Chains A and B, each alone.
Chain A
Amino acid sequence: MSLPFILFFVFAFIAVMGAVLLILAHEPIHSALALILVMVSLAVLYLLLGAEFIAAVQIIVYAGAIMVLFVFVIMLLNAGVEERTNWSKIAKYAGLPLGIFLLLELAHFLARSGAGATTANGPGASNAAFSTRALSELLFQKYLFPFEATSILILIAILGALVLAKKDS
């Protein structure tokens, strides 16, 4: 067992445990904290894959901004223990089997697919980190138009959130 394997299994375990906790928790704030756990361990896995920039963005945007927004709304709405209701029959008898089926099917196909080999380009190329410089060149040249389009998207999202959340006058 080399160090990458140990790191992978430790943080994969933490991520799966966090996701299970998200499902089992009764209070939304516990679910939010479990989701932060998942996101931080995924950032470590991104580092393990050599994607440093994505790992940093994962921490800053996901674990930082988006989850703070979630926690803020949970506090604002004073969300307490989840109300238990009778599950609909469809959710009870089709939801769980179908969820497990989807999980198994995805795992089966992915494990069997051609990506099962270590890497396409041999171990030498695989251990080098993706350079952030090359990523930024790709982002600002090949994908410049989508990048600018996302700024419009963010602007519209800000306006939409403002319009939705403001008090009716």
Chain B
Amino acid sequence: MTAVPISYYLVLSAVLFGLGVVAFVFKRNIITIFMAIELMLNAVNLAFVAFARAHNQLDGLVFVFFVIVVAAAEAAVGLAIVITIVQNRESLNIERINLLKF
């Protein structure tokens, strides 16, 4: 039984990251943009695990663990910010959140 080559996982990771970037650029809903960030983090995690497997090192998995922890903290704070913005602006559209826009 042959294992799947590591490069396949890396290409999948790159594709998912690229789709996450496209979603980040094109979506107009602030919650969906947050989800695009989570998608990119997931793609990076996949690359970490694939490289950990390629080099047979466990350190990559520990790093994935930390990425997941930071993602959880980021989601909690980020969604609290979203709730505050929506209470103030009454819109989820990022076009209307332009206070800091140049």
Contact = CB atoms under 8 A, between A and B. Distances in A.
Interface in B27-48: 27-29, 31-32, 34-36, 38-39, 42, 45-47
A16 B55 contact: no
Nearest to B41: A62
Chain A: interface secondary structure? helix
Given A77-B83, A127-B1, A22 B35 contact: yes
Q: Interface residues of A toward B: which range?
A: 35 or more
Interface in B46-102: 46-47, 49-56, 58-59, 61-62, 64-66, 68-77, 79-84, 86, 91-93, 95
Interface of B: 1-23, 25-29, 31-32, 34-36, 38-39, 42, 45-47, 49-56, 58-59, 61-62, 64-66, 68-77, 79-84, 86, 91-93, 95
Given A95-B25, A102-B18, 8 more contacts: A4-B4, A82-B27, A103-B18, A111-B10, A115-B51, A127-B1, A138-B58, A153-B69
Interface of A: 2-5, 8, 12, 15-16, 19-20, 22-23, 28, 31-32, 35, 38-39, 42, 45-46, 48-51, 53-54, 57-58, 61-62, 65-66, 69-70, 73-74, 76-77, 79, 82-85, 87, 91, 95-96, 98-100, 102-103, 106-107, 110-111, 113, 115-121, 123, 125-127, 130, 134-135, 138-139, 142-143, 146, 150, 153-154, 156-158, 160-162, 164-165
